[in-house]
Amino acid sequence: MQSDFKGIGMTSQRTRDRLAETLIEMGIESEAVLDVIRNTPRHFFVDEALATRAYENTALPIGFNQTISQPYIVAKMIEALIKDNKLHKVLEIGTGCGYQTFVLAQFVDYVYTVERIDGLLVRARERFQKLGCTNIRSNHSDGNIGWKAHAPYDGIIVSAAPIGVPSALREQLALDGRLIIPVGEAGEQKLLEITRNQADYSEKLLDSVSFVPMLAGTDATR
- Which residues of the chain form contacts with ligand SAH (CB under 6 A)? 62, 66-69, 93-94, 96-97, 99-100, 114-117, 120, 142-144, 159-160, 212, 214-215
Give me the least distance between CB of 198 and ligand SAH, in Å please.
Answer: 29
Q: Where are the alpha helices (DSSP H) in the chain?
A: 13-25, 31-39, 71-82, 99-104, 118-130, 167-171
The residue among 52 and 70 lying less far from ligand SAH, judged by its C-beta, is 70
Exposed/middle/buried for 29, CB within 10 Å: 0-12, 13-18, 19+?
A: exposed
Give me the least distance between CB of 115 and ligand SAH, in Å please.
Answer: 5
The residue among 54 and 114 lying less far from ligand SAH, judged by its C-beta, is 114
Residues with a known catalytic role: 69
d(CA 93, CA 113): 6
Parallel, antiparallel, or unpaired: how do β-strands 189-196 and 173-183 relate? antiparallel
Give me the least distance between CB of 15 and ligand SAH, in Å please.
Answer: 18
The residue among 40 and 66 lying less far from ligand SAH, judged by its C-beta, is 66
Which phi and psi (to 5°) does residue 34 adopt?
Answer: -60, -40
What Cα–Cα distance (Å) separates residue 219 from each residue in 100, 133, 165, 215?
21, 25, 22, 10
Give me the least distance between CB of 137 and ligand SAH, in Å please.
Answer: 14
The residue among 63 and 152 lying less far from ligand SAH, judged by its C-beta, is 63
